[in-house]
Amino acid sequence: MPLSLVVLISGRGSNLKAILDAIEAGDLPAVVCAVISTDAGARGLEYARRRHIDTLALDAADYPERNDYDRALQGLIERFNPDLVVLAGFMRILTPGFVRHFQGRILNIHPSLLPAFRGLRTHQRALEAGVREHGASVHFVTEELDGGPVIAQVRVPVLADDDPASLAARVLREEHRLYPQTLRWLAEGRIRWNGQQVLFDDKPLNHPQQLEAQLEGQ
C-alpha cells in the first residue's frame, strides 16, 4: 500500500512539488490525500489542484487562539486519515497538544544541519557564524522547536562569495531530493520511530542518514 500523506504548506510549495514529481515518476510509493495551507492564495496549492488533490486553507485570522487553530487543523487532517503529516514550508509553530496527537507521524524539513541553527534566518546565521558546510535536515516533529529526532541530512559547501539568497538556493535544490528520499525510506518501512529511538533497517539510527549532494557542475 502506498504511504498516504497530508502536506501542510504556507507559500510557494516547492518541496510539495518535489514530492508530487517523485510520486509521478514512480520514485516514491505514496499518495498525497490533501494539501492544507495557512494562506488560500499560496502558490503551492496550484500544484495540488492541477493533480486534482483536495486543497484546503485555514486562516489564522479566523482563530485568535493558537489552540483553536490547531484543533481545527487537526480536524481537517483527520478527515483524510493519513499515515504521515508532512510539513513543507509550513510557517507556524504547532502547539504541544497537536504534536502529541500526531506523535511519530509528523515530519518537517528544516534548512540547516540540525541541531545547528534552529528557528528562522538559518542561511544568514550560517554565514555570520562562518561555517564551511550548511544544508538541510528532515526530522520527526516533537514539542521542542526543530528538536525532534533527525532522520536524514544533506550537506552543501558554503562558498566565499555566498550571500543568504545564493546559499538558500543551493540548499533548496538539495531539499527537493532529500524530502522525497526520506519519505521513500518511510514508505518502504525502513525507518521507524518507537517513541524513544529511530530505527533504520531495524538498527538504531545513531547518526542521521547522509544524502550525497548533487551540486551544479557535477
Catalytic residue IDs: 110
Letter for the amino acid at 157? P
Q: DSSP of 28-83, one letter per residue? A: S-EEEEEEEES-TT-THHHHHHHTT-EEEE--GGG-SSHHHHHHHHHHHHHTT--S
Contact assessment for residue 35 and residue 23, using Cβ atoms and an 8 Å cutoff: no
The arrangement of strands across the sheet holding 150-157 comes to 54-57, 30-37, 3-9, 84-87, 106-110, 133-140, 150-157, 209-211
Tell me how far apart the alpha carbons of residues 160 and 47 are, in angstroms, rounded to a whole number. 35
- Only one residue has cell 522525497, namely 180
- Collapsed DSSP state (helix, strand, coil) of residue 3: strand
Contact assessment for residue 191 and residue 198, using Cβ atoms and an 8 Å cutoff: yes
Letter for the amino acid at 107? L
